[in-house]
Chains A and B, each alone.
Chain A
Amino acid sequence: MSVNPDYLKEEREQEWRVVLRSQKKNKERTDLVRVHMTEVDPKIRVQSNIEVNQGLSEDDAVNEAQRCLDCPNPTCITGCPVEINIPKFIKNIERREFLEAAKVLKQTSTLPAVCGRVCPQEKQCEAQCFYTLKLKKEPVAIGYLERFAADYEQKSGKMAVPEVAPAKGIKIAIIGSGPAGLTFAGEMCKRGYDVWVFEALHEIGGVLKYGIPEFRLPNSIVDVEIDILKKMGVHFETNFVVGKTATIDDLKDEGFKGFFVGSGAGLPRFMNIPGENYIGILSSNEYLTRINLMDAANPNTDTPIISGKNVAVIGGGNTAMDSVRTAKRLGAERAMIIYRRSIEEMPARVEEIKHAQEEGIEFINLANPLEYYADEKGRVKQMKVQRMELGEPDSSGRRRPVPVEGSEYLIDVDTVVVSVGVSPNPLIPSSLPDLKMTRWQTIEVDDDKLQSSIPYIFAGGDIVRGGATVILAMGDGRKAAASMDNYIQNISK
């Protein structure tokens, strides 16, 4: 997918944009300072699940939108995996056409309210903004503005339900209701297909619901989008494990013509070090699922959670940050991140690291767990970590951590959350022996069409990429919908 430069130019030459540009000199625009998002005070926010970022006011959003130079060559767009027409939506905010801005977002992104919150903007759109590249200044707050426009639309009560083409009477099945599956569902529904989403869990939303916590992405934001899909006519079947409850072949016999696998990378990895199965050591998936999906921290639910006073979270990604900040909110006195590289190498979003620091999370960097020790009841009580130092860059370009001999020491812990990565979910592949897989156990697909080795099966999101991002999963959903539509039209000719 590539945006057509002529089209961008044409849009940029629309009269309202020309007028808007002429209202302020570029110098005036670049002199403005980047907006600050209102955040709940760290001391208060760690006592509840309240969303940390409170969003922008209308005036703040308009001011920030004025910073955007409406560049003739908007490099920001190249940083966005789904190539949102960034200046177009921002300029609509500047002229206070907020619903119009939301519409621009919706043309390419199904879940802008989600992406505005969770995209790693500092590595994507904002990294390619003219301000970052040429002016060496803070980039336009594209993510905040995206969230603003999407929230405005949600709150306006004027959520547009996309138009749906006349029913084709062709049934399509989607496996998994994460961002990839939801996006695909919306796109196929618009094209007039009879769309069914099968989800293994009892809730729709994938990682957006069971993984990312309420204080970063409220469930209500996701639910609004799911409601729209329902209104469009998408059918949701929860508690349905494809490959178990029914196989793809069974569903094919029931008349489904195409399948999209968006089953994610839900399998937790452990480190396989001594003592890792002691009580109190759990995967971040288990920890976050208990809290987010099962609401275990609420005394009125039946699911229990153990969360101690000294909590160590192993890892440096978003999942680790989410776990450690959750631990703090559950009352940990010491909530620690233990990561084998330095803070600069952490894959987590920069904003989450900053928020975690404000909340009093302890960062123990350049340290790696070696072993756990338990009390007589088998409950973890201590861990041995080894100091690391950074050596030569490895294949990922990051400097490789090397153990420092003789630097081992003990840390008291009563809960450990292991957050060292996930692997692709094997449920679908194991029920389809003919499906071609890569050596990383992801589904092999054609890069352009996202079609698998079985022609009527398409796939996208984490099951194809390994652990990636929400926006990439959504982009895949869109792309796969276009190519499945093509495929089905061709075979039915």
Chain B
Amino acid sequence: MNKIVKKEFFSENVVRLVIEAPRIAKARKAGHFVIIKCGETGERIPLTIAAADKDKGTIDLVIQRVGVTSRKITELEEGDYITDLVGPLGQATHVEKVGTVLACGGGVGVAPLLPIVEAMKMAGNRVVTILAARSKDLIILEDQMRQFSDELIIMTDDGSYGQKGLVTDGMESVIKNEKVDLSVVIGPAVMMKYASMVTKKYDIPTMASLNTIMVDGTGMCGACRVTVGGKVKFVCVDGPEFDAHQVDFDEMLLRLSGYKDIEKEAENKYISNKCKSR
């Protein structure tokens, strides 16, 4: 059981939780994630460790509501406990000084991007960050990102904030202006697919952090498998980061939709039950 010591809303559907987890705070590196389970009947879902405070023994999670479990977690309050929390899992990001890093985050992919941006900056890189979302109120972690970025570009689909356009438009303009040595793209699978097509065109090494469906997170089930460079990899133990140019995003997109109908039904049921019980 891990206690929630702080809760903060970044937007209507995005919440930051600060959770007591001293061992994980100590062991984690950029790129690691945890698996969390809420309640006895809860499911296990993966969430990136967005930040950690070794001294206080806490980790930060940034969670976007997309379904039942993420909703349940965002409904927890300060002082509540998380039933099960395990980590840090996955391979840490390979961080080194390469020159200029173009970091692109879409939607809630911004949360997992934050620790990587921080680590890249600390390693002495120039970091250009692009945050993309549908509209202004969905842009999160802007201040935190600015702190570790030499340049921060904001893109919104509707132009309600920053520049109007997609993340790929922002990427093109940066790449045309300066030499980029490495790109990191994290966001919805579709966004990562198109973003990596851009960097492929310019031959820029690119890594993507994949957000597949997971169960155990320890390599035991294979739910998280993806094809990378023609080989089957388990995201939870081999990843979550991979060479974006080798990832079969189309297959990943299909696999992500595997439980869509059941999940939607479950969420509707959860919401209607809640309304009834009020």
Contacts and interface: CB of A to CB of B under 8 A. Distances in A.
Interface of A: 200-202, 238-241, 244-246, 250, 266-268, 270, 272, 276-280, 282-283, 285-286, 289-290, 294-295, 298, 300-304, 306, 377-378, 425-427
B41 A200 contact: no
A378 B43 CA distance: 24
5 contacts: A289-B220, A294-B44, A302-B69, A377-B257, A425-B220
Given A285-B222, A286-B215, A303 B43 contact: yes
Contacts of B226: 277
A306 B259 contact: yes
B88 A245 contact: yes
Contact of A302 (B42, B255, B257): B42
Interface stretch (B56-64, B79-87, B172-180): B79-87
B92 to A, nearest CB: 10
Interface string B83-119: 1111111000000000000000000000000000000
Contact of A241 (B72, B86, B258, B259): B86
Nearest to B256: A279
A282 B224 CA distance: 10
B6 interface: no
A302 B89 CA distance: 22
Contacts of A276: 232
Given A289-B216, A302-B68, A304-B263, A272 B223 contact: no
Nearest to B84: A202
Q: 7 closest Cβ contacts across the A-B interface?
A: A378-B254, A286-B221, A239-B86, A302-B43, A303-B43, A301-B41, A279-B258
Contact of B259 (A240, A267, A294, A304): A304
Contacts of B251: 277, 378
Nearest to A418: B222
Contacts of B23: 240, 245-246
A302 B41 contact: yes
Interface residues of B, number: 40
Nearest to B45: A302
Given A244-B89, A277-B232, 5 more contacts: A239-B86, A266-B219, A270-B222, A294-B215, A427-B219
A426 B85 contact: no
Contacts of B215: 286, 289-290, 294, 303
A238 B222 contact: no
A463 to B, nearest CB: 13
A241 B218 contact: yes
B37 interface: yes
Nearest to B42: A302
Nearest to A280: B258
Contacts of A240: 23, 86
Contact of B222 (A268, A298, A377, A378): A268
A272 B233 CA distance: 11
B219 A426 contact: yes
A244 B223 contact: no
Contacts of A286: 215, 221-223
A266 B266 contact: no
Interface string B229-266: 00010000100000000000001001101110011001
A451 B220 CA distance: 25
Contacts of B42: 301-302
Given A241-B86, A277-B232, A378 B255 contact: yes
Interface string B197-211: 000000000000000
A276 B219 CA distance: 17
Taking each of A201, A270, A272, A290, which has the highest tally of chain B beta carbons within 10 Å of its own beta carbon?
A201
B66 interface: no
Contacts of A298: 41
A294 B232 contact: no
Contacts of B133: none
Nearest to B32: A244
Contacts of A268: 220-222
Nearest to A199: B86
B123 interface: no
Contacts of A285: 220-222
Contacts of A245: 23-24, 27, 86-88
A306 B262 CA distance: 9
B225 interface: yes
Given A245-B88, A246-B27, A304-B266, A267 B220 contact: yes
B219 A300 contact: no
B227 interface: yes
B227 A378 contact: no
A303 B23 CA distance: 27
Nearest to A237: B23
Given A238-B84, A282-B223, A272 B255 contact: no
Contacts of A200: 86, 216, 218
A459 to B, nearest CB: 18
Nearest to B253: A378
A252 B272 CA distance: 51
A302 B218 contact: no
Contacts of B266: 302, 304
Contacts of A427: 218-219, 237
Given A245-B27, A279-B255, A304 B262 contact: yes
Nearest to B267: A302
Nearest to A379: B258
A295 B23 CA distance: 29
Nearest to B40: A301
A276 B248 CA distance: 14
B277 to A, nearest CB: 14
B143 to A, nearest CB: 31
Contacts of B43: 294, 301-304
Nearest to A250: B27
Contacts of A426: 219, 237
A244 B218 CA distance: 10
B20 to A, nearest CB: 13
Contact of B221 (A244, A289, A378): A289
